[in-house]
Chains A and B, each alone.
Chain A
Amino acid sequence: MLLWLIVLFPFVGGVCTAFLRPNARNAEAWLAGIVALATLCAVALLYPQVANGVIVRSSLEWLPQAGVRIALRMDGFAWMFAGLVTSIGALVVLYARYYMSPADPVPRFFSFLLAFMGSMLGIVLSGNLIQLVVFWEMTSLTSFVLIGYWYHRAESRRGAIVALSVTGTGGLCLLAGVLLLGHIVGSYELDAVLAAADRIHAHPWYPAALVLLLLGAFTKSAQVPFQFWLPQAMAAPTPVSAYLHSAAMVKAGVFLLARLWPALAGTDLWFGIVCSVGMGSLVLGACAALFQRDIKGVLAYSTVSHLGLMTLLLGMDSPLALVAAIFHMLNHATFKASLFMAAGIVDHETGTRDLARLGGLARAMPITATLALVAAAAMAGVPLLNGFLSKEMFFAETIFAGETPALRIGLPALATLAGVFSVAYSTRFFHRVFLGPPARDLPREPHEPTHWMLAPSLILVVICLLVGIMPAQTIGPVLSLATHAILGSRQPAYSLSAWPGFHAPLAMSAIALVGGFTLYAFLLSRRVLARLALRAVGAARRHWFDRLTLRLVRTFDRLQRLVISRRLQIQLLIIVIACSVVGYLTLNNSIARFSAPSITVLELSFALLWIVGGACALGTALQAKFHRLAALIMFGGAGLVTFLTFAWFSAPDLALTQISVEVVTMVLMLLGLRWLPKRIDTMDPGRRTTRARARRLRDAIVATLAGAGMALLSYTLLVHPGAPSPLSEFFLAQALPASGGRNVVNVTLVDFRGFDTLGEITVVAIVALTVYKVLRRFRPPPESLPGTARDAAQTMISPATLRRLVLPAAGVISLYVLLRGHNAPGGGFVGGLILATAFIVQYLVTGTLWVESRLRIRPQYWMAVGLLAAASTGCGAWLGSRAFLTNMSAHIDLPLVGDVHLSSTLLFDVGVYLVVIGATTLILVSLAHQSLRGRRAPEAEPVAGIRVRA
Chain B
Amino acid sequence: MKRLRPFLILAMVVLWLLLNGTVSIGQVVLGLVVSIVIVVVFRDFLPDEPRMRRPATAVALFFRVLYDIVQSNLGVARVILGRRTRNVRSAFVRIPLELRNPHGLAVLAGIVTSTPGTIWAGLAPDGVLTLHVLDVDDEQALIRAIKERYERPLLEIFK
Contacts and interface: CB of A to CB of B under 8 A. Distances in A.
B105 A801 contact: yes
B44 interface: yes
A896 B26 contact: yes
Most buried by A among B29, B45, B102, B108: B45
B12 interface: yes
Interface size band for A: 20 to 34
Interface string A548-571: 000000000000000000000000
A820 B22 CA distance: 13
B47 A800 contact: yes
B34 to A, nearest CB: 5
Contacts, number: 92
Nearest to B124: A795
Contact of A898 (B12, B26, B106, B122): B26
A796 B35 contact: no
A897 B44 contact: no
Contacts of B34: 811-812, 815-816
Interface string B49-86: 00000000000000000000000000000000000000
A729 B43 CA distance: 47
Interface string A316-328: 0000000000000
Given A811-B42, A812-B35, A796 B20 contact: no
A897 B30 contact: yes
A797 interface: yes
B109 A802 contact: yes
B42 A807 contact: yes
B22 to A, nearest CB: 12
Most buried by B among A794, A800, A811, A896: A811
A670 interface: no
A477 interface: no
A801 to B, nearest CB: 4
Contact of B46 (A807, A813, A816, A820): A807
Contacts of A805: 47, 106
A808 B109 contact: no
A854 interface: yes
Interface string B113-135: 00000001011110000000000
B145 interface: no
B19 A816 contact: yes
B88 interface: no
A493 interface: no
Contacts of A21: none
Contacts of B125: 794-796
Give the secondary structure class of A's interface.
helix
A802 B26 contact: no
Contact of B123 (A795, A809, A820, A900): A795
Contact of B45 (A812, A816, A855, A894): A855
B38 interface: yes
Interface in A790-827: 794-802, 804-805, 807-809, 811-813, 815-816, 819-820
A812 B19 contact: yes
Contacts of B48: 801
Nearest to B103: A801
A842 interface: yes
A811 B20 contact: no
Nearest to A815: B34
Nearest to B39: A808
A801 B102 contact: yes
Give the secondary structure class of B's interface.
helix
A751 to B, nearest CB: 23
B106 A802 contact: yes
Contacts of B16: 812, 816
A796 B106 contact: no
Contact of A897 (B26, B39, B42, B120): B26
Nearest to B122: A795
A812 B46 contact: no
A798 B105 CA distance: 9
B1 interface: no
Given A855-B45, A896-B29, A798 B109 contact: yes
A812 B12 contact: yes
Given A801-B47, A801-B102, A808 B42 contact: yes
A799 B123 contact: yes
Interface in A891-914: 894, 896-898, 900
Contact of B15 (A809, A854, A894, A900): A809
B141 interface: no
B123 A796 contact: yes
B110 interface: yes
B105 A799 contact: yes
Contacts of B122: 795-797
Contacts of B124: 794-796
A506 B23 CA distance: 126
Most buried by B among A794, A796, A797, A894: A796
A795 B127 CA distance: 10
B103 A855 contact: no
A800 B11 CA distance: 17
A849 to B, nearest CB: 13
Contacts of A854: 44-45
A809 B110 CA distance: 16
A708 to B, nearest CB: 40
Interface string B13-41: 00110011000111001100011001101
Most buried by B among A797, A798, A819: A798
B2 to A, nearest CB: 13
Contacts of B12: 808-809, 811-812
A845 to B, nearest CB: 11
Contact of A808 (B8, B44, B103, B123): B8
A851 B12 CA distance: 22
A63 B120 CA distance: 85
A824 B9 CA distance: 25
A802 B120 CA distance: 13
A162 B91 CA distance: 88
Contact of A811 (B25, B38, B109, B123): B38
25 contacts: A794-B124, A796-B122, A796-B124, A797-B122, A797-B123, A799-B102, A799-B109, A799-B123, A801-B47, A802-B109, A804-B45, A804-B46, A805-B47, A807-B38, A808-B11, A808-B38, A808-B39, A811-B34, A812-B34, A813-B19, A815-B38, A816-B34, A842-B45, A851-B45, A897-B25
Given A808-B35, A809-B15, 17 more contacts: A794-B125, A795-B122, A795-B124, A796-B125, A797-B123, A798-B109, A799-B108, A800-B47, A800-B102, A801-B48, A802-B106, A807-B46, A811-B41, A812-B19, A815-B34, A819-B30, A897-B30
Q: Which 6 A-B pairs have the closest CB atoms?
A: A801-B106, A854-B44, A897-B26, A804-B47, A799-B106, A811-B38
